[in-house]
Amino acid sequence: MTRLNPGATADTLDGLRAFIGPDHVRADAESKAIYGRDWTRLYPPDPLAVVLPGSVEQVQRLVHYANERRLALVPSGGRTGLSGAAVACRGEIVVSLERMNRILDFDPVDRSLTCQAGAITETVQTFARERGLYYPVDFASRGSSQIGGNIATNAGGIKVVRYGLTRDWVTGLKVITGRGDLLDLNRGLIKNASGYDLRHLFVGSEGTLGIIVEATLKLTRPLREPSVMVLGVPDLNGIMAIYAALRGKLDLSAFEFFSEPALRHVLKKGLHRPFDTETPYYALAEFENPAGQATDEALALFEGCAEQGWLADGAISQSEQQAKELWRLREDISESISEHQPYKNDIAVRISRVPALLEEIGGLLEREYPDFEVLWYGHIGDGNLHINILKPKEMETATFAERCGAVSERLFAALQRHGGSISAEHGVGLTKKPYLHYTRDDTEIGYLRAIKRVFDPNGIMNPGKIFDAGLPG
């Protein structure tokens, strides 16, 4: 894809306005800066324009128009992604679905709802809760992330230990492929053994195969009076031992961890320590506790872990409000460090291999980043670690990214030896594209490219994300 000349640009925008509407095609600098980037902040946004379609028909017509003119499209949700998948930095057209944000249907018998792709995650959660049900895919950006973006990145979040990833809650999708075809996939069925399930190709596809326009989601019963414990832990191996002890006795819905340096950034924003003792690491466990029935068991587990030397202190919530405050110690980390333009590594291994991986990479990061602040946190109960390196104020962004990228090569080589993934839940996008071969071999990447050609033969859908497809255009 190449940038259009000025005359062609004006003609293209006029053509878009003819069927999207003049108020919903934006080419001003402010709109392009806002819609052309995600939370990575590593790539300066430079889209041709931003379009905000209001219907499935408009999205389909847009894709046909883009194919006719060989225009690159970048689907955009809440732009809370952390891999550059929603970045438009090469003259693409950003396709924001924020106008398509309605909940279309609810079925209490099926325990499901159907919504447009631009529906905010928290809106879906609230809708379910008001009807006595629960949508369990949850994360700190729930108030601005959109369902379509969640699906396109197969978002995980804080409840994966119990509920799994977004993929596990999508029973139907409507998508516009890169060819411009409308596909109605699986139609909300729980059981459907009628050939290939194309729905799952679009979950985690990062907008490279087409644009998700509607989704049917499963719902479940709410958690029963969850309690939250925060535990002070002397070392990372202790966290894994605590996890093994707790999940054998408690009905865990989450098991998170964070380091003391990460906690300090959150405390600067006005929160308070959960207890006086400072420890290198902290574990946060959430578990169902109806009428306090599991409290005695939780306290006994706390004492047992303390006797083993796995923890040094702890606190347990006594109310729903206290539980929310404890959760903020973990959930507010990303926001509290955003001003430092962190370089993010979002890695995963099988839970059983976490201790061995930590032993190998812990020393590597200490040696390679002596002058950078490194923060550890993540969803360790499902094998997902977040390693954030904070950019020094005086260092140029490009220099910082280059230094971190060089270390990532060694980090991912170690991860490959442990059978892990370079991206647990943030996707590949632009930031992890150079390292895809550490998780997928050449043969597998060849199949990914072939799938891309089937759904997007002209290469208009989010080109350059995940891999360089080598398609015409």
- Quick one: tokens of 129? 């809760």
Q: Is 215 helix (H, G, I), strand (E, B) or coil?
A: strand
Q: Is the pLDDT of residue 471 over 50?
A: no
The enclosing domain of 280 has a CATH number of 3.30.70.2190
Final residue of a domain: which of 68, 99, 130?
A: 99
Among 205-209, 268-272, 359-363, which is the least confidently predicted range? 359-363
pLDDT of residue 184: 98
The answer to whether residue 443 sits within a structural domain is no
Number of alpha carbons in the 13 Å side-chain half-sphere of residue 159: 18
CA-to-CA dists, residue 434 to 80, 226, 409, 467, angstroms: 21, 41, 9, 8
- The percentage of residues in the chain with a pLDDT greater than 90, rounded to a whole number, is 81
- Quick one: tokens of 414? 């170690």
Instruction: Check if the beta carbon of residue 230 is closer than 8 Å to that of residue 314.
Output: yes
pLDDT of residue 369: 87
Q: Is the pLDDT of residue 370 over 90?
A: no
pLDDT digits (tens, 9 = 90+) for 170-221: 999 999 999 999 999 999 999 999 999 999 999 999 999 999 999 999 999 9
Number of alpha carbons in the 13 Å side-chain half-sphere of residue 466: 24
pLDDT of residue 472: 45
The answer to whether residue 114 sits within a structural domain is yes
Q: What is the count of structural domains for the chain?
A: 4
Please give the residue range of the domain that contains residue 143: 103-218
pLDDT digits (tens, 9 = 90+) for 41-50: 788 999 999 9
Rounded-to-integer distance, Cα 216 and Cα 212, Å: 11
pLDDT of residue 250: 95
10 and 75 assigned to the same domain:
yes
Q: What is the 3-state secondary structure (H, E, C) of 333-349?
A: HHHHHHHHCCEEEEEEC
Map tokens 């000349």 to a residue.
Answer: 5
The answer to whether residue 67 sits within a structural domain is yes
- Quick one: tokens of 299? 């306290």
The enclosing domain of 135 has a CATH number of 3.30.465.10
Q: What is the mean pLDDT of residues 126-143?
A: 94
pLDDT of residue 299: 96
**Spatial CA neighbour of 382 closest among 208, 231, 247:** 247
Instruction: Check if the beta carbon of residue 267 is closer than 8 Å to that of residue 273.
Output: yes
CB pairs under 8 A, 24+ apart, for 416-422? 417/360, 418/349, 418/353, 418/356, 418/357, 418/360, 419/349, 419/350, 419/353, 420/347, 420/348, 420/349, 420/350, 420/353, 420/357, 420/383, 421/347, 421/348, 421/349, 422/347
87 and 110 assigned to the same domain:
no
pLDDT of residue 24: 98
Q: Is the pLDDT of residue 75 over 90?
A: yes
240 and 170 assigned to the same domain:
no
Q: What is the mean pLDDT of residues 147-158?
A: 93
**Spatial CA neighbour of 228 closest among 255, 259, 263, 266:** 255
Rounded-to-integer distance, Cα 196 and Cα 267, Å: 49
pLDDT of residue 2: 46
pLDDT digits (tens, 9 = 90+) for 403-428: 998 889 999 999 999 999 999 988 99
Rounded-to-integer distance, Cα 225 and Cα 274, Å: 20
Mean pLDDT of the chain: 93
- The percentage of residues in the chain with a pLDDT greater than 70, rounded to a whole number, is 97
Strands (E), 200-342: 210-218, 226-233, 252-259, 281-288, 313-316
Q: What is the band of 473 on the pLDDT scale with cuts at 50, 70, 90?
A: very low
Q: What is the band of 6 on the pLDDT scale with cuts at 50, 70, 90?
A: low
The answer to whether residue 462 sits within a structural domain is no
Final residue of a domain: which of 277, 308, 334?
A: 334
pLDDT of residue 7: 59
Provide φ and ψ at 49, rounded to 5°: -165, 170
**Spatial CA neighbour of 216 closest among 184, 192, 245:** 184
The enclosing domain of 352 has a CATH number of 3.30.70.2740
Q: Is the pLDDT of residue 5 over 80?
A: no
Amino acid at residue number 199: R
The enclosing domain of 69 has a CATH number of 3.30.43.10
Q: What is the band of 135 on the pLDDT scale with cuts at 50, 70, 90?
A: very high
Rounded-to-integer distance, Cα 230 and Cα 343, Å: 26
pLDDT of residue 362: 83
Final residue of a domain: which of 334, 358, 380?
A: 334
The answer to whether residue 452 sits within a structural domain is no
Rounded-to-integer distance, Cα 216 and Cα 411, Å: 38
Strands (E), 302-440: 313-316, 343-348, 373-379, 384-390
Q: Is the pLDDT of residue 469 over 70?
A: no
pTM for this one?
A: 0.92
